[in-house]
Chains A and B, each alone.
Chain A
Amino acid sequence: MSASPKPDLITVNVDGRDVAVPKGTNVIEAARLVGVDVPYYCYHPKLSISGNCRMCLVEIGMPAVDPATKAPIVDPGTGKQRINWIPRPQIGCATTASPGLHVRTNTAQIKECREGVMEFLLVNHPLDCPICDQAGECKLQEQATGYGRGYSRYIEAKNVKPKRTQLGPRVMLDDERCILCSRCIRFCKEVAKDDVLGFIDRGSYSTLTCYPGRQLTNNYSLNTVDICPVGALTSTDFRFKMRVWFLKQTDSIDPESSVGANTVVWSREGVVYRITPRRNDEVNDTWMADSGRELYKQNRAPDRLMVARVEGQDSTPAAALAAAADLLKPAAGAVAVVGSGRSSIEEQFVTRRMANALGAGAFLVGRSDPGDGLLISADRNPNVRGALVTGLVTNLPSERLTQLGEWIDEGKVRCVVSVGEDLLAAGLTEAQLARVAVVYLGTHANATSAIARIVVPTFTVLERTGSFVNQQFRLQKFFQAVPGPAGAIDDLTALTRLLSSVEGEYFPPEPAAIWPEMARAIDVLQGITFAGIPATGRLLDGSRWAGLPFPEGPGLHFQPAAKP
């Protein structure tokens, strides 16, 4: 990675305070840097500027210069350069900072402008906050409180528009609540590249809708719900399920591909209600795929493994792990470990140490599917690069465990530990599996768990803490949002316990406790502590693996290395 050139800084003045901002910054962002809040609805940092809501009106001025000599004109009263204020308020979103630009946001005129826009936005907006899903995270509510007059002068009948339009399978539209900011339209056009939304009719009767015969079906449709500043677009899935202020927010990572979109998991009392994107300007901006938001449903899926089993008998995780150790220890030298590209880097590190202790060959199952060029990459494992960094594997995994199959056929392997992988789906035959004892650690039932001698139910990504290395070799943390089921055990606990039982070293089952040893043993991780990884991740030096034929194509903020 070459260091990005330092952006040109220019000085602007916001409400009397000078602030240095990068060239090209708009007034809203410049004001944010000095802690001045310029309210807005239609502006979005990752979309084109529309300038339609008029909420971000500010006063703009430039230092006065003599037109002939270009010399500054000094105000004799203050001894400072005079400022020529533009009499009409200007929108902050479309005003780019230029050297010496002066901004006033706290004048009587601006207060009055904001009150006016707030009043206009509310005259035809239904005041149904008590039954609106957006309540609690509604910009209209917040800014009406912050900048509105607090009373209504409107006695006319409000406009009537469609209340329940299903725009697509996952997005519901209430047109009466829509404030016509056009964020959703711009998102579909500019980011999702699926230009399906638009307005029909005009004036205050303008109505958001899909183009005739089309639906909002793309895999990014729920981002429109996220960026809708009001309750017009709601998620069909989340709608009416829970008040947002009851929900706990936990930082997490979307595990559906090697992009590693940053997410927030919203839960209450151990139940996850929704997953939304978390802004990371280097990875996913403010977006994520709809498919990643559905993953919370796996937590409570009917096929979730809830009880440990040993030889077909129900057991406890502790007893099952003890039985597994008893099985594996004597077989040392004839064991294979099928690790997982879905495990955290900490779990992969322990898996590697366990394979070492058992003298076992380690495998990984590759998963690939065409990427979408945006936030889902061709590598559908979130952490193959973690497996490379930890040395769990030294090459890119194939989708078939052909080599392991041969070893079984040759009698070299008697026991197989599978971390969440369905060995049958990965190419082993039933006959091959019949010849080995399988220890299965996993979250959901599959053909392998059905025939495994020992089954240890484990946790999903929403129930664990750890870190993944994404396609950029960016190390990103995720945290446990909800506790796992009572009959299951955390992967890291299971693996560390198994490792110590087979006479490997002992690690406390906490990522933070494993990191000192990882940072010591793995050179590209040197100097890193778990707590020290920033919320937006930390880039690792992946140059050692640059020659590998990674499957990812170009995506948002990602360009694959040129193939030699």
Chain B
Amino acid sequence: MKAKVLLSLILLCGSLTAPTARAGDAAPTASAAPASCDLPAYLLTSESPLPKVAAAVKAGKPLEILVIGSRSTTIPSSENSSYPARMEAILKEKLPPSGVVHVSVEIQSKKTAEETAATFVKLMEAKTPTLVIWQTGTVDAIRAIDPDDFRSAVTEGVVALQSAGTDVVLMNLQYSPRTETMISAQPFLDNMRVVAQEHDIPLFDRFAIMRQWNDQGQFDLFSPSRGPELAKQVHDCLGRALAQFVIDAAHREPAQQQN
């Protein structure tokens, strides 16, 4: 379908997109990503560094990652195919074998960003991750929380996590074409981007990534399919993209320090 959309985008933007348009995924390792996971490089990179992750990888220390999410973090009845599990597998493959990678998941279903952020201090006392990937926004969008309140809640959460001494990656909503007329995602996407910018932390743009897949025809996200197959494939690709994103942000760090 939407090859044309992309084409028009590229035409619009002229040569600006051209240098980066080559999909920048799939490092040549054993597990070549399926073609359906292809993404343009800009969706997989961030200008913001992950210093703690970089240091841990460099020193060969264990990499402890905590994913704080909601129901869309998992696939009902197939946890092992959800994106945190997939990310763990890919990271283990791609990072030097000396290091240990461990991913744990904290699901706070049906909680807004504010309610979730309120638990962070205690959560960080119990666990000491190197990196927290905080996926949020969906519940707030469904309940139509005031975007300003949402922004301050996310800010609060990010500050709490950072002051507990971990790197933070924000992850935004899923792209869900079926419910597009019912859930207004845009204000929440915008505000998460603002918070990420303000605190110089990477934002994993799950929404743009999934929309890219849908527009390119890699996945038909309109599909009403009841089986878990589609969800598994999407989560596999999300896990790969997320692993790539984390590695990239971690490697970016030394260069940033030189500046």
Whether A and B are associated in the same complex: the answer reads: no
A contact set with B: CB distance below 8 Å: none
| Residues in chain B within 8 A of chain A (CB atoms) | none
